[in-house]
Amino acid sequence: MTHEGEGVGRADGFTLFVQGALPGERVKAKVLKVKKQYGYAKQLELLQSSPDRVDAPCPIYKQCGGCQLQHMGYDAQLRWKRQHVVDNLVRIGKLPVAGTMEQGGASSGERPAVIVHPTIGMDNPWRYRNKAQVPIGMAMASLEGGAGGGLIGGFYARGSHRIIDMDECLIQHEQNDEVVRRVKEIGKRLGITAYDEESGRGLLRHVVVRTGFISGEIMVVLVTNGRKIPHADQWIEGIREAIPGVTSIVQNINTRTTNVIFGDETRTLWGSDVIYDELDGIRFAISARSFYQVNPAQTVELYRKAVEYAGLTGSENVIDAYCGIGTISLFLARQAGQVYGVEIVPEAIEDAKRNAELNGIDNASFESGPAEVVIPRWRKEGIAADVIVVDPPRKGCDTALLETILAMKPERVVYVSCNPSTLARDLRVLEDGGYRTVEVQPVDMFPHTVHVESVALLVRKDM
């Protein structure tokens, strides 16, 4: 399978990518597109099925682009995710991984092989998401001026930007589904128009809903193409009436022609500008545009592992790079001397400061800016680090940051990653600079999708 979950097959020696086919299966497929080295084909018939194949429980799985692995049993998904990490560490990171052929280099006495643990999965891998981001469009009938139709919202059809209406998503918290349904109903009733990508006209672009799993608090964000919302008061009243748990209704204005959901301007229409939630006994305020992990149960697993890897005794100086609203920072602060968090989104840093205060944590400080600029400056100012934790976005760490880590020589580096290929690339840089990757723990944050999260522990080779 590719990292996008397509089956990789061969027909007379020619490589074909087939969506929905699993390793070990034989399928009859229709070739859709051919390039020099490979092609794409559509599965017509399953000739020989894999023991890992299951019926996808979601009725819209085939059309929707949101999940890619529902046709694969959950245990097989977890094994595939671990293997995906291993493959990247070996191929891109050139690392010896325990239990693989490439371990040969390790047994020659050079260094111990990297241990990649089995993926930590969920007992019940459904309904795990705390955030829904629903693109809004108009039903066909109303586009053509016919009767019926009106506002729809759901998902983009696989590989396209066509919006398909949806009432239920099996990986979404039920409450989020319910809120989205209600918000669409009210919008329809008030005759709110949907944004149209082609013409750039129409008002409502996205409905974003966040639910605090522990607190039960709900934030509704209306992402609009323009500032003015017709019948704004009725909207707000309608939402409050229909959704008792709502504590925050926010408007985000995005007038640009872009796939990015949020624009720069956010204003609170009603209630609080944040919702609160709790992870492992720590309370967090979360504002509309701040990053907050979408799977709270697995987030706790991930963060606990990161803290374990940090190996803290209570006196250490720790840097948390790419800290978001300070989630990992505050987990670390409970066991460290001092924690320094850095993050590029200013609102997230405001949240982080507020969160430290909220929990009576006074050994964590935060600064906003690019990690690759702020941390080198900290170094010049004389801040030392015993441990550096990084949790970058998909593109991985900036080279300048990796160089600074090498120059600061922390005893340990803990690398939290949502992309095994950039993880492997960055581990190679750290290895060449004097660190050894000891172990890697994949954690399944996004069941039924191809996303793979993991956390790696590196120690200084001269320790």
Report the interface residues with ligand SAH, using CB under 6 A.
291-293, 322-324, 327-328, 342-345, 348, 370-372, 391, 393, 398
By beta carbon distance, the residue nearest ligand SAH is 324
Say if CB 440 and CB 116 are below 8 A apart: yes
In angstroms, what is the minimal distance from the CB of 325 to ligand SAH? Answer: 6
What's the rounded Cα separation, in Å, for the pair 287 and 248?
A: 10
DSSP designation for 72 = B
Q: Is 293 a known ligand-binding residue?
A: yes
Q: Is 322 a known ligand-binding residue?
A: yes
Q: What amino acid is encoded at 344 in this protein?
A: I
In angstroms, what is the minimal distance from the CB of 344 to ligand SAH? Answer: 4
User: Quick one: tokens of 260?
Assistant: 């990015």
**Cβ atoms < 10 Å from Cβ of 122:** 17
In angstroms, what is the minimal distance from the CB of 202 to ligand SAH? Answer: 29
Say if CB 206 and CB 267 are below 8 A apart: no
In angstroms, what is the minimal distance from the CB of 298 to ligand SAH? Answer: 11
In angstroms, what is the minimal distance from the CB of 236 to ligand SAH? Answer: 29
Name which of 231 and 354 has its Cβ closer to ligand SAH: 354
Q: Is 391 a known ligand-binding residue?
A: yes
Name which of 119 and 327 has its Cβ closer to ligand SAH: 327
Q: What is the CA radius of gyration of the chain?
A: 24
User: Quick one: tokens of 15?
Assistant: 């490589």
Please identify which of the residues 58, 64, 169, 418 carries the catalytic annotation: 418
Nearest Cα neighbor of 273 from 357, 207, 210 is 210
Name which of 76 and 414 has its Cβ closer to ligand SAH: 414
User: Quick one: tokens of 88?
Assistant: 């990247």
In angstroms, what is the minimal distance from the CB of 370 to ligand SAH? Answer: 4
Name which of 78 and 286 has its Cβ closer to ligand SAH: 286
Helix axes 232-242, 174-189, angle to 10 degrees: 140
Report residue 231 CA to chain centroid gap.
34
Name which of 203 and 371 has its Cβ closer to ligand SAH: 371
Nearest Cα neighbor of 214 from 265, 275, 147 is 275
Angle at 132 between CA 229 and CA 230, to 5 degrees: 10
Three-state secondary-structure class, residue 184 = helix
**Cβ atoms < 10 Å from Cβ of 360:** 6
What's the rounded Cα separation, in Å, for the pair 13 and 244?
A: 59
Active site residue 418: yes
Q: Which positions make up the binding site?
A: 293, 322, 343, 391
Residues placed in the known binding site for S-adenosyl-L-methionine: 293, 322, 343, 391
Task: State the catalytic residues.
Answer: 418
